[in-house]
Each structure stands twice: as structure tokens, then as C-alpha cells.
């Protein structure tokens, strides 16, 4: 290194050494005096200089290549379509934290915990797959082959070979770690109680009917040719990221197990889009990667949010002077469009009919769908489009088309490079869901500010919340589990709602010990933060700011979770569907709290500032069942997240949902607690925000019509 920094001196040193060696090949060193006197032969000097120059060029080349591997176009290797462990980005090498985080945590994110230990047991140490050398890859491959061969020799009849330790078999399916047994069990129970049942006919049908994305849809939108900063390259070249595909190993051998190499994972990420349909009119671009040096990390002013949040009233009703409280309340009752709320709340008819056997959220969603469809039918039979508040395109006008909703790009902010990491499916499936991970997407200051604001909002809701249930059964289960022997009938619900009255809500609050997660929301344009983050997401993923909805902060106290669900509505196509979800972790949950995609075998650990982004839609524009995910139980500490959903079109143009939930009148400082399927994630407290709040927000800084 010293040589590199001071080439002149090094050259001199070389000359000196070279001369001493060539002239005096004995052990006796020549004195410096001798050296000064002795003149090097000119041919010797030239050759040494040439050598040094070659050396420096080589080193410079190496450095350049490792920093910007995409600049060097090496041998193309034909890409195989089947993805595997992960594709990962060559992120900022100078950032130790990012590197450490990616190599250690990222590994755990991608593999199930015991998969990591399996690999550790193969390598004898935690392999840094992020920067694994050819040798490491070869080692993994060789070991894998060895184990596989051994297994075959020992006879595959031994079913107990499931036990990795006993059989030394590399289990290709992700498994759960022992230490996470309790999570696993709880999740199992959530699977039974609250999850989409594995054999749920609707889901099943969709699962089986779901094929790999097809390419021929006329309605498919082609990526904009303007999208020049998107990374696109079909070639994979020598410097490697790893793509080992054990699940492609056939029963006879391992010839299908591939180790792919790439100049950078970003390329791979884009390459992975080759797995997506080749869209009509879409030309596969090849070309230079344009790195944007722009710094979107504008100064963030949390005082902005804080000062707003200091007066909850103002924050909740920014246009307060124009609306008197009663008006607002009325509107709230009629038009709250908090999606989860609306999906979880049954209508009056449902409550009265007490056809409560379908207790899953998905079923509730299906019901909501049915209602929606019947509304649609009514609308179309009348031949008119329903005019919702904020009237967007009418229901009948909407045709979902697969949109290139996100394009991962390199981003710079705060002088750092944030690179997307694609987390690959660990389970063979025909899922079209792609999950991308960004570390340090939010700064510490942002995370802390958001948590502060969130806590402040909760405290500002001085009145006890109103409790609502998706079914009478759910309410009964809660009462039973609280150890109370109280009989309740449907009469307990406030007329026309699925919520209980104020005094019983208070009673329940103490029985349930306020055992719920908390969600508060704010809307785009209401703080510098929302504008900044919307811009950052646009830059990082190409997400249109105007298509993003509210920003929802959720905190999970110890022991809380959120059941397996999809963010979109299964079984239909709706313009209000959440096309893309962006989940940002505001803190490190000390233990537990992982976001789990059961169909993909992907777990993501909460880490402060980390963001994950995934699509919920299949290429046909419908809700992709494989996008279902779970917030695992928080086993230690507390978990805070910020979530934002992106829609097909401008959020403001969507209009309110056709079937708004029926909610009782509530005070301004009164949140709603919504309990559905009985589970650890059964109840969630919502700081009530409505669609009107957004529309009435006077200075819509995003200026969306
Ligand atoms: O907390 C998580 O990990 C997931 C949350 C989530 O999926 C949601 O709020 O929709
Ligand atoms: Fe979700």
C-alpha cells in the first residue's frame, strides 16, 4: 500500500533493492553510500518502472472493478431463469455498517435461521455470502455435492434424515430454528386460527391457477423508455454474487445446481426481471448504468411534524377552521376509508344476520368484495358511474393492467449509496412477488422522530377507544380469554355497527388489558418528511409519489403480532388495491417481530432504517396470494414500523371505498380498536383518519388533481 501511495519513493526503493540484488547476490547488504554512488543501468530502471506501472494499473483496475463492477463488462453467462438463495447488491464497500449488516443480518433475512446454521456447519464459520469468493462458492457446492452423494449412498429411505444434525443432510426447504420454536408454534396456531387456511378454496384455486407470468397481455404497460436510470443488463459476468439453486437439484445428481456469477447484484436484480414477462414492446435495454449523484436526503425537519402533532386536533383536522367538529364526525361516520378498518368491520346486516362462521379477514374481505361487486353491478345496471368523494375514474372504467410498478435503482443520499437487495424466494413457487430490501433507507433521526410523533399521537387520544369486532365470536373469545364469564349477544353492538358502546368499550379495555398494536397515520404533503420519503422512494424504486397513500406508523408492544394477510383484496381486481407495499422499520425489535412471507420462505428482521418493498399484484393485475405476510410476535422489546401503500393510480383520484364501514359516533380524541380473527394480532388501535382528512387538507403540496 505504501508503495502505491508513494510510487516515486517505491520506484527508488525498487531500484535500490534491484541493484543490490543484481550486483551483490550475497547476504551482505549494500550500504546506502554505495547505492548513491552506483548508477543503475538504464535498461534496469526502465523495466522496473514498467513493472511498477503495470502493478499500479492492475491495482487501480481491481479497485475500480470492485467499486463499480458494472463498468467492466466481462464474459456473459447465460442466465438461468430459476432464482435461488439471493441476489444481492454490491453496496457501498466503504460503509462497514452496511456491509456488516448485509453480510450477517441479510443472510439471516434470506435464509431461515437454521439454514444459516446449516451453511455455517458446512463452512465452519458464517460465510459472508455477500462477498463470497469463488472458493467459498466452490466449497459450498462441493460440500453440498458430498452430502448429497453421501445421503444417496446411505439410502434415501431413512426418513429421519430430516434431522440435519443426525443425517448431515442439507435440507433444501427452509426450516425454523429451535430458538424460534415458540414463534413457530404461535404462527402455526395463527395459521389455524387466523391465517388464510392452506386449503382455503379461494386461495387454493388461485394458487393452482397461478402460472408464471405471461407476456402477451395487450393491456400491459411497457416500461417508459425515459427510464434511462433504471438498471438493465442481460449479461452476467465474472465477479460474483451468488445464485445457488439447491431446489433445482434433481434426484439423480446436482447438475442443475448452478452457481451464477454477476458483476453486481443490481444487475442481477434487473436480470431477475427477465423472469418477469417479456412485455410487449419492451426492449431489453443494455447500456451504462447511470448513477445519480443527487442527494435526495434533504434536511428533515421533525419539528415540522412535532409541532403539528403537538396539537392533535390540528393534525387530525388540518382544515379545522372550515369544518366544525360535528360535521367532521358525521363525515367520519360515513366515510372512513381506513382500508383495514373497512375490511374488518362487518355491516349492520352482517352483524344482525350473525352469519359469523367466516371469521378470517380474507373472508371478511371477500364479503366486502361481494358487497363491492354488488355495488358495482348496481352502478353499471343504472348505467352510471358512482360519484365518490374525490371522484376518480368510475368503477366500471377501471381495468387493471400489469404495470411496472417498481424499478429498483441505485440511490445516493447522505453521501452514501443505498442499493436495493432482492430477496429471493426460498420456496419453489410460481409467485410473481418480488421483495427488495434497503438498509439505512431512513436515517436514525427520521426513525426516532416518527416514533416520537407516534407515541405522542397515542397519548393525545385522551378518551378511551371504542372497540369493534369482526364478529360476535371474536368478542366472545376475547371475553373468555380474559377469564370473564359474561354472556353477550348481538345486542351488545351499537345499532348499525360492529362496535360496542362507550361504557362496554371501557370495560373491555380493562379486561383486554389494552393488549393491542397501535396505528397512527399521516398523509402526503403534511410534513417535509412525507415529501422527502415519497421522493426517496421514487428515486429508489420508481414509485410515483402521487400513487402513494397514507403513511401509517404501527407499534407492536411485547407479545403482539399481526396475522398472516395480504395487503390487497383476494379474488378480485380493484383500483383501490395496494399494488406495492413499502414497510420501513423504525427500530430493531430486540427479538422477534420479523416480517415473514410464508409462501416465499423469506423472513426480514426489523432493523432501524431498513425498508422492504414488494409487489402485491400478479401480472394480471389481481391480488397475488403469495404476497401474504405475517408480523411475527415481538418476543422482546417493542417494534415500530412505518408503512406506505402504493396504488394503481393517484391516491386522491381513487375516491372512497364503495362500502364504508359503519362506525359509531366518536369523539375527536377517541381512537378505534378493531379486533378481528382471534390471534396475537387480533386487535389494533387506530388513530382514526379518514379519506376526507386528506381531501380537506388545504395545501395539498403534491398538487394532485
Ligand atoms: O409489521 C410487519 O412486519 C408487517 C405489517 C403489515 O404487514 C401491515 O401492517 O400490513
Ligand atoms: Fe401487510
What is the Cα–Cα distance from 83 to 423, expressed in whole angstroms?
10
Query: What crossing angle do the helices spanning 528-541 and 302-310 adopt, rounded to 10°?
Result: 130
If you measure from the C-alpha of residue 630 to the centroid of ligand 1, how many angstroms do you get, rounded to a whole number? 7
The domain total for the chain is 3
Residue appearing with cell numbers 422512494: 537
For ligand 1, pick from 629, 674, 683 the residue to mutate: most ligand atoms within 8 Å of CB. Answer: 629
CA 487 to chain centre: 42
Spatial CA neighbour of 244 closest among 101, 100, 122: 122
346 in any annotated domain = yes
What is the Cα–Cα distance from 37 to 307, expressed in whole angstroms?
77
Q: Which triple of cell numbers denotes residue 115?
A: 439454514
The mean pLDDT value of the chain amounts to 56
For ligand 1, pick from 588, 643, 646, 679 the residue to mutate: most ligand atoms within 8 Å of CB. Answer: 643
Mean pLDDT of 431-458: 90
Atom 10 in ligand 1: residue holding the nearest Cα: 567
Residue 479 has pLDDT above 50, yes or no: yes
Helix ranges restricted to H, 194-237: 201-209
Residue 200 has pLDDT above 50, yes or no: no
ipTM of the complex: 0.99
What is the Cα–Cα distance from 530 to 520, expressed in whole angstroms?
14
Looking at residue 548, what is its pLDDT? 92
What is the Cα–Cα distance from 590 to 635, expressed in whole angstroms?
8
If you measure from the C-alpha of residue 362 to the centroid of ligand 2, how many angstroms do you get, rounded to a whole number? 12
If you measure from the C-alpha of residue 668 to the centroid of ligand 1, how many angstroms do you get, rounded to a whole number? 26
- Which ligand sits closest to the CA of 630? 1
Ligand 1 atom, smallest distance to 632 CA = 3
- Which ligand sits closest to the CA of 587? 1
Atom 2 in ligand 1: residue holding the nearest Cα: 631
- Which ligand sits closest to the CA of 640? 1
If you measure from the C-alpha of residue 444 to the centroid of ligand 1, how many angstroms do you get, rounded to a whole number? 20
- Strand pairing of 517-522 and 683-686? parallel
| Ligand 1 pocket, CB under 6 A | 554, 562, 567, 583, 595, 629, 631, 641, 643
What is the Cα–Cα distance from 330 to 326, expressed in whole angstroms?
6
For ligand 1, pick from 554, 555, 598, 674 the residue to mutate: most ligand atoms within 8 Å of CB. Answer: 554
Q: Are 590 and 171 in contact (CB under 8 A)?
A: no
Q: How far is CA 705 from each of CA 178, 335, 654, 695, 700, rounded to the nearest angstrom?
A: 53, 20, 11, 10, 10
**Could you tell me if 142 and 30 lie in one domain?**
no
650 in any annotated domain = yes
Mean pLDDT of 520-534: 82
**Could you tell me if 255 and 366 lie in one domain?**
no
What is the Cα–Cα distance from 14 to 8, expressed in whole angstroms?
10
If you measure from the C-alpha of residue 566 to the centroid of ligand 2, how many angstroms do you get, rounded to a whole number? 6
Ligand 1 atom, smallest distance to 593 CA = 3
Q: Are 599 and 572 in contact (CB under 8 A)?
A: no
Ligand 1 atom, smallest distance to 596 CA = 3
366 in any annotated domain = yes
What is the Cα–Cα distance from 698 to 62, expressed in whole angstroms?
55
Looking at residue 295, what is its pLDDT? 22
Helix ranges restricted to H, 426-522: 444-460, 472-481, 502-511
Residue 630 has pLDDT above 60, yes or no: yes
**Could you tell me if 250 and 338 lie in one domain?**
no
**Could you tell me if 124 and 41 lie in one domain?**
no
What number of CA atoms fall less than 13 Å from residue 278's CA on the CB side?
A: 6
Looking at residue 434, what is its pLDDT? 92
193 in any annotated domain = no
Looking at residue 143, what is its pLDDT? 66
Ligand 1 atom, smallest distance to 639 CA = 1
**Could you tell me if 586 and 439 lie in one domain?**
yes
If you measure from the C-alpha of residue 562 to the centroid of ligand 1, how many angstroms do you get, rounded to a whole number? 7
pLDDT bucket at 260, cuts 50 / 70 / 90 = very low
**Could you tell me if 60 and 92 lie in one domain?**
no
- Where in the sequence is the domain holding 32, given as residue range(s)? 2-67
Looking at residue 142, what is its pLDDT? 64
If you measure from the C-alpha of residue 565 to the centroid of ligand 2, how many angstroms do you get, rounded to a whole number? 6
**Residue range 372-392, pLDDT digits in tens:** 334 333 333 333 322 222 333
Instruction: Please report the beta strands in 69-226, taking only residues with DSSP state E, as ranges in sequence order.
Output: 86-87
CB neighbour list of residue 243: distance below 8 Å, 6 or more residues apart = 83, 84, 85, 86, 87, 258, 259, 260, 262, 268, 424
pLDDT bucket at 417, cuts 50 / 70 / 90 = confident
Q: Which triple of cell numbers denotes residue 695?
A: 381531501
If you measure from the C-alpha of residue 595 to the centroid of ligand 1, how many angstroms do you get, rounded to a whole number? 7
pLDDT bucket at 352, cuts 50 / 70 / 90 = very low
Spatial CA neighbour of 595 closest among 204, 193, 268, 187: 187
Looking at residue 656, what is its pLDDT? 66
What is the Cα–Cα distance from 372 to 376, expressed in whole angstroms?
6
Atom 9 in ligand 1: residue holding the nearest Cα: 643
CATH number, domain of 430, equals: 2.60.120.620
If you measure from the C-alpha of residue 158 to the centroid of ligand 2, how many angstroms do you get, rounded to a whole number? 40
If you measure from the C-alpha of residue 84 to the centroid of ligand 1, how many angstroms do you get, rounded to a whole number? 25
What is the per-residue DSSP string for 39-62? PPPHHHHHHHHHHHHHHHHHHHHH
137 in any annotated domain = yes
What is the Cα–Cα distance from 595 to 680, expressed in whole angstroms?
14
578 in any annotated domain = yes
Q: Are 581 and 633 in contact (CB under 8 A)?
A: no
**Could you tell me if 404 and 258 lie in one domain?**
no
Atom 4 in ligand 1: residue holding the nearest Cα: 631
Q: Are 601 and 595 in contact (CB under 8 A)?
A: no
- Looking at mean pLDDT, say which of 209-218, 585-594, 683-692 comes out highest: 585-594
If you measure from the C-alpha of residue 578 to the centroid of ligand 2, how many angstroms do you get, rounded to a whole number? 10
Q: Which contiguous run of DSSP H or E holds residue 268?
A: helix 265-272
For ligand 1, pick from 362, 627, 631 the residue to mutate: most ligand atoms within 8 Å of CB. Answer: 631
Q: What are the backbone angles phi and psi of residue 189, rounded to the nearest 5°?
A: -65, -30
**Could you tell me if 368 and 262 lie in one domain?**
no
Higher model confidence: residue 216 or residue 685?
685
Q: Which triple of cell numbers denotes residue 178?
A: 429451535
If you measure from the C-alpha of residue 519 to the centroid of ligand 1, how many angstroms do you get, rounded to a whole number? 11
Cβ–Cβ contacts within 10 Å for residue 239, how many? 17
- Looking at mean pLDDT, say which of 335-349, 520-534, 629-643 comes out highest: 629-643
385 in any annotated domain = no
**Could you tell me if 551 and 489 lie in one domain?**
yes
Ligand 1 atom, smallest distance to 556 CA = 1
Residue 681: burial class (beta carbons within 10 Å; 0-12, 13-18, 19+): buried
What is the Cα–Cα distance from 658 to 391, expressed in whole angstroms?
11
Counting residues of the chain whose pLDDT is more than 90, the rounded percentage is 18
Atom 1 in ligand 1: residue holding the nearest Cα: 631
**Could you tell me if 519 and 547 lie in one domain?**
yes
- Looking at mean pLDDT, say which of 100-109, 209-218, 290-299, 600-609 comes out highest: 600-609
What is the Cα–Cα distance from 584 to 588, expressed in whole angstroms?
11
- Which ligand sits closest to the CA of 627? 2
Residue 582 has pLDDT above 60, yes or no: yes
Q: Which contiguous run of DSSP H or E holds residue 615?
A: strand 611-615
Residue 110 has pLDDT above 50, yes or no: no
**Could you tell me if 129 and 50 lie in one domain?**
no
Ligand 1 atom, smallest distance to 340 CA = 10
Termini Cα distance of the chain: 59
Ligand 1 atom, smallest distance to 552 CA = 9
Spatial CA neighbour of 626 closest among 402, 361, 437, 431: 431
What is the Cα–Cα distance from 144 to 169, expressed in whole angstroms?
9
Residue 552 has pLDDT above 60, yes or no: yes
Higher model confidence: residue 354 or residue 36?
36
Looking at residue 236, what is its pLDDT? 20
Residue 232 has pLDDT above 50, yes or no: no
- Which ligand sits closest to the CA of 596? 1
If you measure from the C-alpha of residue 235 to the centroid of ligand 1, how many angstroms do you get, rounded to a whole number? 36
If you measure from the C-alpha of residue 614 to the centroid of ligand 1, how many angstroms do you get, rounded to a whole number? 12
Atom 6 in ligand 1: residue holding the nearest Cα: 631
Looking at residue 226, what is its pLDDT? 30
- Looking at mean pLDDT, say which of 37-41, 318-322, 539-543 comes out highest: 539-543
If you measure from the C-alpha of residue 564 to the centroid of ligand 2, how many angstroms do you get, rounded to a whole number? 8
Residue 497 has pLDDT above 70, yes or no: yes
Ligand 1 atom, smallest distance to 606 CA = 3
Q: What are the backbone angles phi and psi of residue 615, rounded to the nearest 5°?
A: -95, 145
Q: Which triple of cell numbers denotes residue 131?
A: 462477498
What is the Cα–Cα distance from 579 to 615, expressed in whole angstroms?
6
**Could you tell me if 268 and 345 lie in one domain?**
no
Residue appearing with cell numbers 419453489: 428
Spatial CA neighbour of 363 closest among 565, 210, 192: 565
Q: What are the backbone angles phi and psi of residue 24, rounded to the nearest 5°?
A: -130, 80
Counting residues of the chain whose pLDDT is more than 70, the rounded percentage is 39
CB neighbour list of residue 617: distance below 8 Å, 6 or more residues apart = 400, 402, 405, 568, 577, 579, 623, 624, 627
Residue 170 has pLDDT above 50, yes or no: no
**Residue range 176-187, pLDDT digits in tens:** 222 223 322 322
Residue 596 has pLDDT above 90, yes or no: yes
What is the Cα–Cα distance from 17 to 300, expressed in whole angstroms?
57
Atom 5 in ligand 1: residue holding the nearest Cα: 631
If you measure from the C-alpha of residue 366 to the centroid of ligand 1, how many angstroms do you get, rounded to a whole number? 20
Mean pLDDT of 676-690: 75
Ligand 1 atom, smallest distance to 519 CA = 9
- Which ligand sits closest to the CA of 554? 1
Q: Are 30 and 23 in contact (CB under 8 A)?
A: yes
What is the Cα–Cα distance from 127 to 293, expressed in whole angstroms?
32
What is the Cα–Cα distance from 223 to 128, expressed in whole angstroms?
35
Looking at residue 245, what is its pLDDT? 22
What is the Cα–Cα distance from 625 to 568, expressed in whole angstroms?
9
290 in any annotated domain = no
Ligand 1 atom, smallest distance to 604 CA = 3
pLDDT bucket at 678, cuts 50 / 70 / 90 = low
Q: What angle do CA 445, 446, 451 make, to 5 degrees?
A: 100
Looking at residue 696, what is its pLDDT? 54
Ligand 1 atom, smallest distance to 641 CA = 1
pLDDT bucket at 322, cuts 50 / 70 / 90 = very low
Looking at residue 429, what is its pLDDT? 80
Mean pLDDT of 173-178: 25
Amino acid at each position: 500500500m505504501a508503495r502505491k501511495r508513494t510510487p516515486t519513493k517505491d520506484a527508488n526503493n525498487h531500484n535500490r533493492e534491484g541493484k543490490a540484488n543484481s550486483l551483490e547476490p550475497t547476504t551482505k547488504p549494500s550500504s546506502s553510500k554505495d547505492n548513491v554512488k552506483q548508477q543503475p543501468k538504464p535498461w534496469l530502471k526502465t523495466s522496473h518502472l514498467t513493472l511498477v506501472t503495470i502493478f499500479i494499473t492492475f491495482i487501480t483496475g481491481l479497485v475500480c472493478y470492485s467499486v463499480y463492477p458494472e463498468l467492466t463488462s466481462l464474459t456473459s453467462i447465460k442466465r438461468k431463469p430459476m432464482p435461488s438463495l439471493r441476489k444481492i447488491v454490491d453496496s457501498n464497500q466503504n460503509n462497514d455498517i452496511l456491509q456488516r449488516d448485509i453480510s450477517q443480518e441479510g443472510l439471516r433475512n434470506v435464509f431461515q435461521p437454521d439454514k444459516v446454521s446449516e451453511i455455517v456447519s458446512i463452512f465452519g464459520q458464517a460465510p459472508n455470502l455477500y462477498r463470497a469468493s469463488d472458493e467459498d462458492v466452490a466449497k459450498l457446492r462441493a460440500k453440498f455435492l458430498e452430502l448429497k452423494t453421501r445421503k444417496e449412498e446411505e439410502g434415501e429411505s431413512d426418513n429421519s434424515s430430516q434431522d440435519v444434525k443426525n443425517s448431515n443432510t442439507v435440507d433444501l426447504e427452509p426450516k425454523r430454528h429451535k430458538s424460534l420454536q415458540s414463534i413457530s408454534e404461535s404462527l402455526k396456531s395463527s395459521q389455524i386460527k387466523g391465517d388464510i387456511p392452506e386449503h382455503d378454496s379461494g386461495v387454493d384455486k388461485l394458487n393452482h391457477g397461478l402460472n408464471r407470468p405471461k407476456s402477451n397481455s395487450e393491456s400491459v404497460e411497457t416500461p417508459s423508455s425515459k427510464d434511462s436510470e433504471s438498471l438493465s443488463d442481460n449479461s452476467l459476468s465474472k465477479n460474483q454474487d451468488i445464485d445457488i439453486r439447491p431446489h433445482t437439484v434433481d434426484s439423480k445428481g446436482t447438475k442443475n445446481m448452478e452457481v451464477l456469477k454477476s458483476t453486481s447484484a443490481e444487475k442481477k436484480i434487473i436480470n431477475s426481471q427477465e423472469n418477469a414477462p417479456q412485455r410487449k414492446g419492451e426492449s431489453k435495454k443494455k447500456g451504462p448504468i447511470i448513477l445519480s449523484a443527487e442527494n435526495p436526503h434533504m434536511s428533515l425537519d421533525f419539528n415540522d411534524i412535532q409541532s403539528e402533532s403537538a396539537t392533535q386536533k390540528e393534525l387530525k383536522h388540518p382544515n379545522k377552521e372550515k369544518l366544525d367538529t360535528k360535521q367532521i364526525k358525521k363525515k367520519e361516520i360515513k366515510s372512513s376509508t381506513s382500508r383495514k378498518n373497512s375490511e374488518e368491520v362487518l355491516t349492520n346486516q352482517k352483524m344482525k344476520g350473525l352469519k359469523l362462521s367466516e371469521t378470517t379477514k380474507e373472508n371478511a374481505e371477500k364479503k366486502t368484495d361481494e358487497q363491492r361487486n354488488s355495488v358495482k353491478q348496481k352502478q353499471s345496471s343504472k348505467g352510471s358511474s358512482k360519484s365518490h368523494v374525490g371522484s376518480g375514474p368510475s368503477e366500471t372504467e377501471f381495468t387493471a393492467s400489469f404495470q411496472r410498478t417498481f424499478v429498483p435503482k441505485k440511490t445516493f443520499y447522505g453521501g452514501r449509496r443505498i442499493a436495493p437487495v432482492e430477496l429471493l424466494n426460498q420456496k419453489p413457487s410460481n409467485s410473481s412477488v418480488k421483495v427488495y430490501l434497503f438498509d439505512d433507507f431512513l436515517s436514525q433521526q427520521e426513525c426516532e422522530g416518527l416514533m416520537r410523533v407516534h407515541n405522542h399521537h397515542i397519548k393525545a387520544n385522551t378518551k378511551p377507544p371504542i372497540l369493534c369486532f369482526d364478529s360476535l365470536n371474536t368478542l366472545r373469545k376475547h371475553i373468555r380469554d380474559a377469564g370473564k364469564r359474561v354472556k353477550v349477544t348481538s345486542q351488545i353492538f351499537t345499532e348499525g355497527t360492529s362496535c360496542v358502546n362507550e361504557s362496554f368499550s371501557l370495560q373491555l379495555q380493562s379486561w383486554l388489558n389494552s393488549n393491542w398494536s397501535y396505528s397512527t397515520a399521516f398523509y402526503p404533503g403534511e410534513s417535509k418528511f412525507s415529501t422527502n420519503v415519497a421522493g426517496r422512494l421514487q428515486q429508489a424504486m420508481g414509485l410515483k409519489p402521487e400513487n402513494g397513500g397514507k403513511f401509517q406508523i404501527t407499534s407492536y408492544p411485547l407479545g403482539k403480532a399481526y396475522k398472516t394477510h395480504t395487503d390487497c383484496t383476494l379474488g378480485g381486481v380493484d383500483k383501490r388495491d395496494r399494488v406495492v407495499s413499502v414497510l420501513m422499520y423504525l427500530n430493531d425489535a430486540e427479538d422477534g417481530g420479523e416480517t415473514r412471507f410464508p409462501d416465499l420462505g423469506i423472513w426480514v428482521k426489523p432493523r432501524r432504517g431498513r425498508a422492504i418493498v414488494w409487489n402485491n399484484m400478479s401480472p394480471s393485475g389481481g391480488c397475488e396470494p403469495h404476497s401474504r405476510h405475517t408480523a411475527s410476535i415481538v418476543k422482546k422489546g417493542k417494534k415500530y414500523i412505518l408503512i406506505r401503500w402504493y396504488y394503481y393510480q393517484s391516491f386522491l383520484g381513487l375516491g372512497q371505498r364503495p362500502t364504508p364501514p359503519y362506525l359509531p359516533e366518536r369523539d375527536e380524541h377517541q381512537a378505534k380498536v378493531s379486533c378481528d380473527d382471534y390471534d396475537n394480532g387480533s386487535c389494533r388501535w387506530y388513530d382514526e383518519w379518514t379519506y376526507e382528512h386528506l381531501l380537506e387538507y388545504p395545501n395539498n403540496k403534491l398538487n394532485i388533481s
